[in-house]
Amino acid sequence: MGRIFETHERLPSREENRFLPPVVSFEDFVERKTAHQQLAFTEFTGDLKKSPSDSRSYRLIRLHNGLVAMVVHDEEESKACASLDVNVGSLADPFELQGLAHFCEHLLFMGTKKYPAENEYNAYLSAHGGYANAYTDLEDTCYFFEVTYDALEGALDRFSQFFIDPLFTADCTDREVRAVDSEHKKNIQNDMWRKYQLEKELSSPQHPFSMFATGSQDTLSGAAQRLGVDLRERLLDFHAKYYSADIMRLVVVGRDSLDQLTEWVVSRFSGIRSKGMTKPLFKGHPLTPREMGTLIRMQSIREKRSLDLIFSMPDMKPYFGTKPTHYLGSLLGHEGRGSILSLLRKRGWATSLVAGRSPTSAEGFDMFKVSVSLTESGLDHYEDVIRAIFAYIQLLRAQPPQKWFHDELRRIGEIEYRFMEKFEAVALASRLANVMQNRYLTPSRILSDEVIFDEFDSDLIEWVQGFLAPDNVRIMLAARELPVEFDRTEPHYGIKYRVDPIPEQLKQDIRGKLVFDELQLPEPNRFIPDNLEVKYTKQKDRMPAEAPTLLKLTEGLELWFKPDDRFFLPRGNVRLLLETPRAYESPLNSVLNQLFVMIIKDSLTEITYDAEIAGLWFEIRSTVEGILVHIDGFNDKLMRLLRTLVETLRTFRVDATQFEVFSHEVRKKLDNARHAEPHSHVQTNTGFMNQAVMWRYMDKLAAFELVTQERLQLFINTLFDQTRLQMLVLGNFDEQDALDASDMVKSLLNCQPLPEYARRVSRATLHDPGVFVHHDRMPEDGNLNSCVDLSVFTGLMADRRNRVLLDLVSLIMKEPFFDQLRTKEQLGYITYSTERKYTGGYMSLCLLVQSESNPSYVRMRIEKFIRGFRQRLVDMSESSFAGYVNSLRVNLEERLKNMFEESGRLWRAINMGFYEFDRIPTDISTLMQLTQADVVAFWDKFVNRDTASEYKALAATIWSTKITQPTEAQLEQYPACVIALAGCLEHDGAVGLSYEDISSFVHKELPSISAGDSTARAEEEALEALLAKYLGKVNGDDEQVAKALAKIRDAASYVRTAISMAREYAEQQQQQQQKPAMVNGQQDVEQAKHANGLFNIGAVKSHGGDWVFREAARFKSTLRQSGAPVPTRPLVPKY
């Protein structure tokens, strides 16, 4: 049947490895019974050692089937969640059915014995403001969900059944193969996935790491067919073998008490069968001596150059306490003075370097990776880059491990843990569920595993450091253009590559003595906070302020301040917008600003790297308004960092090396935008057509030839001559700190104030009534997918009532849309609906599908869903409607978890210009007054094309180069169902019928078939009539024709659905007694030409009455612009 991979019968022992800690036992667990049902379980009675700043309560329990669970009580949490990690992943795939573990992850959601409806789980979560997701890794498959706090019990009941009695129905099995295949195909042009697969492909064939993990139609249903086995039966076997309670770890977070959460967990999950197993532990290592000592060169899709040094290591999970790979990664990946990266940057060879334990590691083996992003010059000098890395390794090995550096990391970790901020519950659950799988991790370290260090262990570090050896490395070099001939092709992604021994001279050099005078160990970190005093204390019955205080408002300064009255931590958050219209007044200036910011961040690295390590995160970002500076972290030395950033911005001088390196980097980023996924392209196009000012990558590329070092320096010198400061100071500060900070910034900038009327505020375009369709073509040939992004406009954002109605409709629609178009119709892996709001402009209901099928067909399926959705709104029960209202209310009430989130919420209110700090309570008040009739009326006013008096819609479509795009004449002449049917035939390989042939079939033959009834028999008759027409045009004995016929006759073929839509069209035409050849007639078209100038910009009016255009910029030029946002409150400064 295929290759068999050997497994260990026992775990390694301390006799084999003296550094190995003992496996965790359950000795500190005592017998307990649940409060209500008196169900037995055991509970850990030791100290979990949670952070002093953590307000959550934790309980670690073990069920009698072996499942270990952590229940977490959080009385402030508006959302509840759960995550279950099964300690088996793609390494357990059978060789002959690669991707089976991932396929199992997909199928598990599709119905259970207790809840057989395939979308029952997702429908329940969606109706209660939640969602679900999962991922498959090498040794884990993790499932998680989020839901409103009051719906947790029902969610857990449904969730648990996936691990007790999943159905894996045959119908779902067939459809989800296509979903897995679609997921794989969306990754084919992604360099990250390509590199990962090549690492696997070129690892030891005796280890399961070498297999293809994602799976595809070929490796799943295709392989099963070739083997003569039933894929569903093999899936059931896989689930029965590996999905055992013994290797499951569960985390549940909710507002309910620990006793109640425990009751639910024990009662729901004790039914999972225990098979008395541990996960398979495979023998050997993916990287044997046969794989080491090699240089792999691969061709990338994007314009990027990367170098990876991969070292083979034994499993590092047991050493969670001393963290030797973290110690080594922190030194090799350091970015301060004397570091490898500092040297490479000064020589113009690299822009970034990351070092540490590879994420492609699993129990039984590890890899340590040094990854470098090379410049063009760095690619030419890649051997010197490798020499520099090994020179630093030699520097480390020439002296004992540095206890002071370990102690510094330990001190930072202790501070971080002591004042740890809260993060999302679902992220906590999925992280803990995975952490708990480490068989060496003691319960007291589960919560602190990522940050707390144990005592310094010099011997262990030296032992691990010994694996960073010249004979224990393999090198991967990736670029779009390499001066070699690629002689191999990877089968799943089509990656072109070659493998050679490491060049002999380089091999000798890295084995010998290497000296780079610039390299040295880092200096002590001066940004570690000293003063951790908290200025404010929590006062009983006093709620946090809703809005910040406006301290100053002058022509050149808008200063807001809010003390930390919510979290009471020694942290701060400062946002500073340097408003300067020059930054974005043209594509050229936008490029110059982007280049300036990139060079600034690079120049600051040696100074600011220590700050980031010590818990001071910062960002400098180019925006439409100017430059945004944002700092978050411990407040003790935050203002010192702010001074450094602003001072550097104002006084910066560009040197030739920096300009050479980063002008290429900016050019590379712009060029790489061409290789983005279709869904990214359509969202860019949609944003461009909805925002008054936005420069696209092609606009910037066109201006790039004007970029010179002299022009950049002139731009920098004058950028801040007239500037307006918009500033928010939040956290462990007082008013004087905020005033001093603004004075410091003003003094450093030394600029004239920007007049209010000269500000570049956000504006949106205002669309006219009608349906407007943008046709674009993918800019590169490799992607099989196309995409449709349909926006239906629903009024102005300033209308609070409509804004809440849109949020409610979007919530109601989310799951049904996904279920119909993604799950049932399998149009594409990326399928979702959402809402968009443009500052000062319209809001829209957005529906997006990325698919291998043609956009005309996809758009028709989206529109059919919209047409049918009104009835769903009408038929919804009172309880269902109340559930959606409650879910949206809970979503709106979700409490802020950390200062970063609070700053983000306040900054959006400030920066958008509405100053709507009371938005949430206002929206909740509006929501609670809405009725089901209001929702239907909203739908009829804006979304229902038959009733909306001023229906406005914009469809952004992008077509794969593999798909034939209709011409303007064809769009005018043929109805959408003809174009869609032609595209579906092409998708299945049936090429030969012209648009005229298909139009004749739709208008002349379908009506007679449709005259009877709409039964399956009539549909089959219509299908066979079309195929007969097709066979009359081609050679029926041709192998490609036979394959096309098989695809079309498949029950899941898009052609069947396209014929069904064509039948509906034919019946409507008969009922209306209209001639099908041309709608409106030539006279009406001529009138339309005079009535709407869109003809003059190259747009055409389609057969169905929609405006179709190809040039987005010309269409945008016909649109009006919104005014500036109007504040919802008076702006009166305190000083």
Contacts of 208 (CB under 8 A, 6+ apart): 5, 90, 91, 92, 93, 95, 282
198-216: per-residue pLDDT in tens? 999 999 999 999 999 999 9
The alpha carbon of 1077 is separated from its chain's Cα centroid by a whole number of angstroms, namely 46
- Say what the pLDDT of residue 1010 is: 56
- Say what the pLDDT of residue 684 is: 96
> What tokens appear for 52 in the block?
């002093």
* Residue 142, H or E segment: strand 141-148
In the chain, the amino acid numbered 222 is G
- The CA distance from 1112 to 775, in Å, is 9
- Say what the pLDDT of residue 16 is: 78
- Say what the pLDDT of residue 1091 is: 47
For the residues 611-634, what does the mean pLDDT come to?
95
* Most confidently modeled range among 6-20, 911-925, 1037-1051: 911-925
Burial letters 197-232, b for 16+ CB under 10 A, else e:
bbbbbbbbbbbbbbbbbbbbbbbbbebbeeeeeebb
For the residues 573-602, what does the mean pLDDT come to?
96
pLDDT over 80 at 1083, yes or no: no
- Say what the pLDDT of residue 1014 is: 56
- Which runs of consecutive H residues, i.e. helices, occur in 876-1004? 878-893, 899-911, 919-927, 932-938, 968-973, 976-987, 995-1000
Is residue 732 packed enough to be buried (19+ CB in 10 Å), middle (13-18) or exposed (0-12)? buried
713-744: per-residue pLDDT in tens? 999 999 999 999 999 999 999 999 999 999 99
Tokens 């202790």, residue? 414
| Residues 600 and 698 sit within 8 Å (Cβ to Cβ) | no
DSSP assignment letter at 7: B
Question: pLDDT confidence of 1080, banded at 50, 70, 90?
Answer: very low
**105 given a catalytic annotation:** yes
- Say what the pLDDT of residue 922 is: 96
Q: Is 568 left (phi over 0), alpha (psi -120 to 50) or beta?
A: left
For the residues 550-564, what does the mean pLDDT come to?
96
Computed on alpha carbons and rounded to an integer, the radius of gyration of the chain in Å comes to 31
- Say what the pLDDT of residue 1079 is: 37
pLDDT over 90 at 558, yes or no: yes
pLDDT over 50 at 474, yes or no: yes
- The length of the chain in residues reads 1135
- The CA distance from 1132 to 1070, in Å, is 66
For the residues 234-245, what does the mean pLDDT come to?
94
- The CA distance from 933 to 928, in Å, is 13
- The CA distance from 845 to 584, in Å, is 29
How far CA 243 is from CA of 132, 756, 797, in Å, comes to 19, 64, 48
Residue of 105, 199, 263, 916 marked catalytic: 105
924-975: per-residue pLDDT in tens? 999 999 999 999 999 999 999 999 999 999 999 999 999 999 999 999 999 9
875-888: per-residue pLDDT in tens? 999 999 999 999 99
pTM of structure: 0.91
Question: pLDDT confidence of 1081, banded at 50, 70, 90?
Answer: very low
| Residues 348 and 661 sit within 8 Å (Cβ to Cβ) | yes
pLDDT over 70 at 2, yes or no: no
Question: pLDDT confidence of 1086, banded at 50, 70, 90?
Answer: very low
| Residues 1066 and 998 sit within 8 Å (Cβ to Cβ) | no
Q: Which of 653, 536, 537 is nearest to 599 (CA)?
A: 653
- The CA distance from 229 to 853, in Å, is 30
For the residues 858-874, what does the mean pLDDT come to?
96
What is the rounded average pLDDT for all residues in the chain? 93
> What tokens appear for 702 in the block?
């066109």
- Say what the pLDDT of residue 1007 is: 83
pLDDT over 50 at 21, yes or no: yes
Question: pLDDT confidence of 1015, banded at 50, 70, 90?
Answer: low
> What tokens appear for 72 in the block?
């977490």
Question: pLDDT confidence of 1051, banded at 50, 70, 90?
Answer: confident
- The CA distance from 481 to 484, in Å, is 9
- Say what the pLDDT of residue 158 is: 97
For the residues 1086-1108, what does the mean pLDDT come to?
76
Q: What percent of the chain has pLDDT over 70?
A: 97
